[in-house]
Every structure is written in C-alpha cells, then in structure tokens.
Structure 1
Amino acid sequence: MLDLEVIPERSLGCPEKSWEFILGMHFSQAVAIIQSQVGTIKNVQVLYSDQNLLNVDLIINIPLSGMRLIFDPISQRLKAIEIFNMKLVRLRYCGNYFNSPEILPSIEQIENSFGSTHPAVYDAVKNSFALNFRGLTFYFFVDSKTQPNQANHGLSSLHFGPGNSPIVTRMTLYCGNSFHECKAPALPISCYNKQLYVESATVIRNSSGTKGLRLNIFTEGSVRSLEARKQCFTRDVLFGDTCQDVVTNLGAPSRVFYKSEDKMKIHSPSAHKRVQRKSDFFFNYFTLGIDILFDARTQKAKKFILHTNFPGHYNFNIYHRCEFKIELNPDKTEQLNGNPINVTAYSKWDAISAKFPSESPIVLHRSSSTNCSNIFGSTFCYGYQDIIFEVMNNGHIASVTFYNTSSQNVFSNWAGIGNQQQINKHNEFEIKIN
C-alpha cells in the first residue's frame, strides 16, 4: 500500500523515497517515476482516445493503488490527480494521516486535518456532496442516514446521527479553485532536471527549400540566488552545421545513435554495390522532440526529424512534443491561388493533402528488437518537396522529416524516420484505447 503525502495545488508523493507526482510535470517524467518504483507501483494502464487525441484527457491508471494521473492531451502535462479508491492508499497532510486502514476519512477527520472551508456542494442527482479546498476536493456519498439540512450552511450543513458520519469516497488534487475548471500548470522548475525544452520551433524555408530550424528554448537559469529561474533563448540549427556547432547551440544530446543498416537503399540506383563506409549518426534530443542526422564523412547536419509524441505511435513517450510551425508555399501549378499552407504538430493529414497533390505513400512498419509485434500497426510516409510526413492511421502526423536535397539522394531519405534507437517503452504498461 502506497504511503503518500498530499500537498494541495502541488503534488502527491512519497518524500521518504524521494519521488512525487508534481502538477505540471510531463507525461514521460511521471512514467519514469513509475518505472523507478516497479516493485511498488504495479499493473499500470495508459488510457486515451485513438480518434480524439486532442480533446480527451490522457490518463495513467493505477488500479491497484486506487489512483489516476490525468494529463492535458495537448501539453501532455499533469493537470490533476484522482484517488478513486481511498482504501488502497495511505494519505497524510503536513505529516498527519487523514486516511489509512486505522483512520477513516470522515467529514470530521477532514475538517480536523484541513480546517474550515466553504459549505459543501450537494448533488441530488448523484446523491453525493463535495467539500472543496483550494486545490483539493473530497467527495462523499449520501445514503438514507445522511440528509441535507437546508437551514444550515457550513461543514455541518449535512445532518447525520452518531456513527453515521459520511466517509470520503474520492479525492482530487489540482491547481485552482475547481477541479472542473483546472488546467495543467506550466512545467515546474523543479521538473526541469537541467534539460532544454522547446516552446516553439519554426522551420526556416525559402523558395529553394528548407534551410534549418529556429528553436525558442527554455531551461533552468544559472542559480545566483536562492530561487532558480526560467531562462529563455533562441537558437538556429541549419543544414551544414557541424557537430560542434549543434552542441554549442543546443548542448549535448540525450543520446547518440549510429545507423547500422539502411533498409531503403534498395530504392537507390547503386543498391547492388557493396560499399563499405562509416555510419551516419543521430543526435537525439528527447526533451526537444528533435533528431539531427549527421553525415559520417563530413560530420555536418543533413536531416532534421521533428516528433509529435501522439499516443498510439511506436515511439510514444520517448520524445516530448516538438511545437513546430511550417509554412509551405505550393507552386502555382499545384494550387492556383498560391496561398501558403501552415502545418503544426496538431494538423491532420487530410486537411494538408487536400491543398496539394501527393503520391502513394510508403508503408513504414517498425518492430521491436526483441521480436515483439508492433501493436500500433504501420504508419504512412508521404513526400512533398524536401519533406517527409509520417502519418498515423487516425490521420495525425507522427513526425516530419526535412532533408538536404543538395547532399543526398532522395531515396535514402526515407530511412531512419522516427526514433533511431528502437526502444519499446510499452512493455511494462497495458495500453487501452477508447
């Protein structure tokens, strides 16, 4: 049974073991905590809507601990924590228990632990009432022995006889005054972990194609005072930049991955030639949602891959979402009015492809290095100018690849889309699709 400390409007966690679920933390950070507590937190489920990814909350369900972590579907940051079975967890506030096998969370116990608050809100339809504190709500079930008293307004506005005090059935923790109006807060500085995060990414393009990326980045500033502060800056990463240029602008990558095999070389005119050469390599920036491919010979950047991190994709939870914006300028032969097309991480392929012609896609199927099947199925890769769009079955864009046409054969650019290091993050989770 988990033994957790409640901090309204902030977190729920176990200070003795130095972990806590903090409101505003990214989905991947919560998963990392769960994986670190693999012997304690078990039977984890990821719940999402496959056809309505941007409007339905992303949820980590932990039924054996009676807990749900609710994430905003767009920012993918933690916006609320729900305890739906109070009997499966111990809870304390300021070091004092208010819920455990020995202590029932009655309305008197909640009042003694948290103090006075506004009158309870009675719901006659659900036959329940809610007791609201800032950042915290307790829900009670009203049975035949507990009747609302219309004459009083306060904690005692519900009248109950001796031994019939209502017990908390559910608790929610969030930021703000109301659970129904709560939003995921900004990523707390305590969750920065000395990493870089992208606020927005603009693709730099002109009439001849893509030149590079302009990244608006934030991170933890230098600690010259007692309080760490957010620091923002802008960096450009361009085709032809060397490894040293990229590291100077973005810092060391999360990982470096060397390509071992190019399975798309069969499309090249010289595919039959066995040429021994060094391996191209990727800089993986997981918290930026970006991969950068470097040429093995020149060690200069020749490909950028931007990830959207949608649930239902093979690489989900490896990257943070890259908040990119692309402005495409179709040729007049493709579109008579020549109006630019704006593409973001939330655009759907049907809306994009309707504005310019596209050829039949290449089907991309990934499989785990442990010979496990890919439960999410194949994705489809569409080429346009110097861009490759990887599209999921539900029409959402999984990744966008930009390649330098001046240095590569077009066929070789279909290889290496997505996470270049085949890491299956789902093997400890049960995935449920609504």
Structure 2
Amino acid sequence: MLDLEIVPERSLGCDAWEFVLGMHFSQSVAIIQSQVGTIRGVQVLYSDQNPLSVDLVINMPQDGIRLIFDPVAQRLKVIEIYNMKLVKLRYSGMCFNSPEISPSIEQVEHCFGATHPGLYDSQRHLFALNFRGLSFYFPVDSKFEPGYAHGLGSLQFPNGGSPVVSRTTIYYGSQHQQANSSSPGGVCGAPLPELPLSCYRHQLHLRRCDVLRSATATQGLRLHMFTEGPGRSLSEGGAGRSVCRVVRFGSSAQRVCAALGAPARTYYKADDKMRIHRPTARRRPPPASDYFFNYFTLGLDILFDARTHQVKKFVLHTNYPGHYNFNMYHRCEFELTVQPDKCDTNSLVESRGAVCITAYSKWEVVSRALRVAERPVVLNRASSTNTTNPFGSTFCYGYQDIIFEVMSNNYIASITLYQPEGSRPRYAVNSIA
C-alpha cells in the first residue's frame, strides 16, 4: 500500500517521487515506470476521435488514484484519490487515512483545521468540504440532509454514524470547477498551473515554433522557448527565462548545439541490412549514416547529413494519444503557413490564399484547402521484437517540401520538412539569431 503525502494545490507523493500539478504527461509516466513492482496495473484513458476535447487520464486502479491531464497542454491539472481504502494519506506528517484511521469529517477537521461551511448536493447525496487546492467528498444518508443546510457546525450523527471520505481531489486554485472529474470521459474544468520549476530539469521547453518559408520552400525554424531563470513567477518573466533561436537548413551540428543545447538523444539511421550479401561488402568500408538530434521537450527531431554534418530535415511531432510515438515527445506547438500551388484550370491560373497549419489542424480541412489529390503512402511501424503496432497504420502525404503524417482520426501526427537535393547549398548557413 502506498504511503503518500498530500500538499494542497501542489502535489501527491513521497520522499522518492511526487506527482506535481502542472507536470507534463511524459514526466508522470516516467515516475510510474521507475516504480515498477510498487505501482501496478496502470491504465491510460483517452478519446480516439476527440483527443482535444476529452481529458487524458492515467488510472491506477490498484492504488485508487487517477491523474487527470489537460488534453491540449497535456499537463497534470487534477489528482483524484477515488478509493481511500487502497492508500495511506498524510498531511504535514499527520496520517488521516489508513486501515487503522478512518477519514471521517471529524478526522479531516482535526488534521486540516476549520473550514467554511461545506456544500451539499441533494441530487447525488454528496457533501463536499473545500479547502484551497483540496476537496473532500462524503456520501451522506438522506436522513442527515437538513443539517447540512447550515454548515459543518450543525451536523448531528449517532455514535459511529459520521460519514467518511469517499473521494479526495487535489487541484490548483481556490475553487474546483468540477464538471465531471470522477468520470474518465468527463471534462474537468479545474484551472491549469504553469509548468513547475521542479519539472524544468535544466531543459529547454517550447512555447511556439514558427516555420520560416519562402513562397514554396522551407528555410528553417524560429523556436520560442523557456528554461530556468531568476525571478518570482513564470508569467512575470522570472522563474522561466525566455529564449528565441533560429535554426536553418545547412546549419552545422555545432551551431545547432550552440542554439538548442545538447540533444536528449542522438539516433543514427539504420544501414541497409541487405548490404552484407553484396560481393563488395567485405572490401568496402561501411558508409557513414545520417543521424538525428532528438529534442523530446521541444517535440523536434533534426536530421544531419553524414558527409557534411549539416541540417537537411526537420520533424515536428504533435504527440497525439493513439500514435506509435505517443509519450516520447512533448507536443510541438508549430505554426506553418503554406502558399498553395497555382492551379491551371481551362488555361486559367487560379490563385488561392495561404493556409495556416498548426498542431491542432485536421487533415480533412488542410487537404481541402491545399487540394492534395495524390494517394498516400501507408506507414506501418512495428517494434524490434516483431510485434504488431496496436495503433494501426498512418498515412503520409507529400506537398511541396512537406510530408504530412496523418492518423486515422484525421489529426496530423507529424510534419517532416526537408530540403530537396538540388536546392542544398554547398556551405552551411549558420544562423542562430
């Protein structure tokens, strides 16, 4: 049984780890993975068809805990303990819920102090005690209903009849705007805090990515980021320091590292596995492999040419649940403006307006505006153990110097921006302004 400490308006955890309000989904998953054998039977709940309108939820049924994430920002906004019998809970070192201690109204008041009168829901027979950043919910027998109209002080119970907490929620702010937080499919209206300083971990985090383009070609990316810095609050420019960098096609690996820092991982593209069967394979040294810089907190991969060590491709990830790479990257908040190709219809050149594409655009809208008519390439990933991909195939559409990877629900999983072979410069364009 987990023995955890509650910090109202902030966290639930212990000395070794804690779930902090505002932390990213991937950081919560990393905590759970580090506790294999202690936290078991974890479920991830999301909507296939409406991933932006239904909360993303991590459910731990064997521990009675549910983590509710904002579906757009993918950061933790509510921690819910829905089965009090499966976990021990403390506040400021004082235990108020365990197999030996029942979390009655008197016990909660003794541990947390006096509060303003609670709220009673006569339809659901549920009584709520609300503190700042913390709420307790008590199921109440109908015969006690009249006493709740006048607040906590008027309650009268027979011996042993005091109700006990059935559910506890930790949230940010003074009031929990509960729409239906007890249901995994419901949308919880609690406010979302800033990313906590404890979750920065000396990494750059992305605010916005502007794709720099000429009329029909990509030139590079302008990345608006933030990281640790002195001050009082992120909104005041204190706790987080804003950083803006431009990375272009042709930039060297050294310049990219100077602009964005060292990558979280370097990945080398796989060699041709059939090369060993060629007669000249033993006489020729293996060719160098192109390599990626993976920036997971930016939602970005950068591909370098093995010979020149210059940027030749960018991959922007949207991190939708149900995709093969979900949880590897934070969502890249990009903005891509594409000028559609001119259409020659009956000898008349038709000009269309520019199309703005973001991480939240649906492909059916984008393809209609760009008039993408070609058939897609079907992409079916599989793991190294030859198991099938449980999420199914995605579909890749090419347009100008862009490849759109589209999921079956019509959301864009990733965008690849590449530089055609004939347009690559002979020297690096080293700009990190």
Instruction: Give 1:146 deviation, angstroms.
Output: 3.1
The answer to whether residue 291 in structure 2 is matched with residue 281 in structure 1 is yes
Q: Which residue of 2 aligns with 1:90?
A: 88
The answer to whether residue 167 in structure 2 is matched with residue 174 in structure 1 is no
- In structure 2, distance between residues paired with 1:157 and 1:97: 26
Contact 1:119/1:157, CA 8 A, preserved across alignment = no
Instruction: Give 1:162 deviation, angstroms.
Output: 2.1
- In structure 1, distance between residues paired with 2:257 and 2:204: 12
Instruction: Give 1:223 deviation, angstroms.
Output: 9.5
| Aligned ranges 1:24-35 → 2 under 5 Å | 24-35=22-33
Q: CA separation of 1:408/1:40 partners in 2, compared to 1, >3 Å: closer, same or farther?
A: farther
Which TM-score applies when normalising by structure 1?
A: 0.87
- In structure 2, distance between residues paired with 1:103 and 1:326: 57
What are the ranges of 5 or more consecutive residues in structure 2 without an aligned counterpart?
Answer: 179-188, 233-237, 274-283, 425-433
SS of residue matched to 2:262: coil
**Residues paired across the two proteins, number:** 395
What are the ranges of 5 or more consecutive residues in structure 1 without an aligned counterpart?
Answer: 264-273, 410-434
Q: Which residue of 1 aligns with 2:395?
A: 380
Which TM-score applies when normalising by structure 2?
A: 0.87
Give CA deviations for 1:56-91 in whole Å, capped at 9, x if unaligned.
000000000000000000000000000000000000
| Aligned ranges 1:218-237 → 2 under 5 Å | 218-221=226-229, 229-237=239-247
- In structure 2, distance between residues paired with 1:349 and 1:4: 44
Instruction: Give 1:407 deviation, angstroms.
Output: 4.8
Contact 1:148/1:157, CA 8 A, preserved across alignment = no
- In structure 1, distance between residues paired with 2:50 and 2:304: 36
**Residue identity matched to 1:217:** M
Contact 1:145/1:161, CA 8 A, preserved across alignment = no
Paired-residue identity, %: 61
- In structure 1, distance between residues paired with 2:191 and 2:405: 30
The answer to whether residue 39 in structure 2 is matched with residue 41 in structure 1 is yes
- In structure 1, distance between residues paired with 2:213 and 2:155: 65
Q: Which residue of 2 aligns with 1:247?
A: 257
The answer to whether residue 72 in structure 2 is matched with residue 62 in structure 1 is no
Instruction: Give 1:257 deviation, angstroms.
Output: 0.6
Contact 1:120/1:157, CA 8 A, preserved across alignment = no
Instruction: Give 1:330 deviation, angstroms.
Output: 1.1
Q: Which residue of 1 aligns with 2:376?
A: 361
Instruction: Give 1:233 deviation, angstroms.
Output: 1.1
| Aligned ranges 1:18-167 → 2 under 5 Å | 19-144=17-142, 146-149=144-147, 153-167=150-164
Instruction: Give 1:129 deviation, angstroms.
Output: 1.1
- In structure 2, distance between residues paired with 1:67 and 1:346: 30
- In structure 2, distance between residues paired with 1:397 and 1:182: 28
Contact 1:98/1:109, CA 8 A, preserved across alignment = yes
**Residue identity matched to 2:302:** I
| Aligned ranges 1:339-350 → 2 under 5 Å | 339-350=353-364
The answer to whether residue 297 in structure 2 is matched with residue 294 in structure 1 is no
Contact 1:71/1:184, CA 8 A, preserved across alignment = no
- In structure 2, distance between residues paired with 1:223 and 1:107: 40
- In structure 2, distance between residues paired with 1:236 and 1:103: 58
- In structure 2, distance between residues paired with 1:321 and 1:115: 41
The answer to whether residue 339 in structure 2 is matched with residue 329 in structure 1 is yes
Contact 1:4/1:13, CA 8 A, preserved across alignment = yes
Instruction: Give 1:408 deviation, angstroms.
Output: 8.0
Instruction: Give 1:95 deviation, angstroms.
Output: 0.4
Contact 2:250/2:311, CA 8 A, preserved across alignment = yes
Give CA deviations for 1:261-290 in whole Å, capped at 9, x if unaligned.
469xxxxxxxxxx99521100000011100
The answer to whether residue 11 in structure 2 is matched with residue 14 in structure 1 is no
Give the RMSD, CA atoms, in angstroms: 2.2
Q: Which residue of 2 aligns with 1:191?
A: 199
Instruction: Give 1:183 deviation, angstroms.
Output: 1.9
Q: CA separation of 1:129/1:223 partners in 2, compared to 1, >3 Å: closer, same or farther?
A: closer
Contact 1:147/1:158, CA 8 A, preserved across alignment = no
Contact 2:171/2:190, CA 8 A, preserved across alignment = yes
- In structure 2, distance between residues paired with 1:94 and 1:292: 46
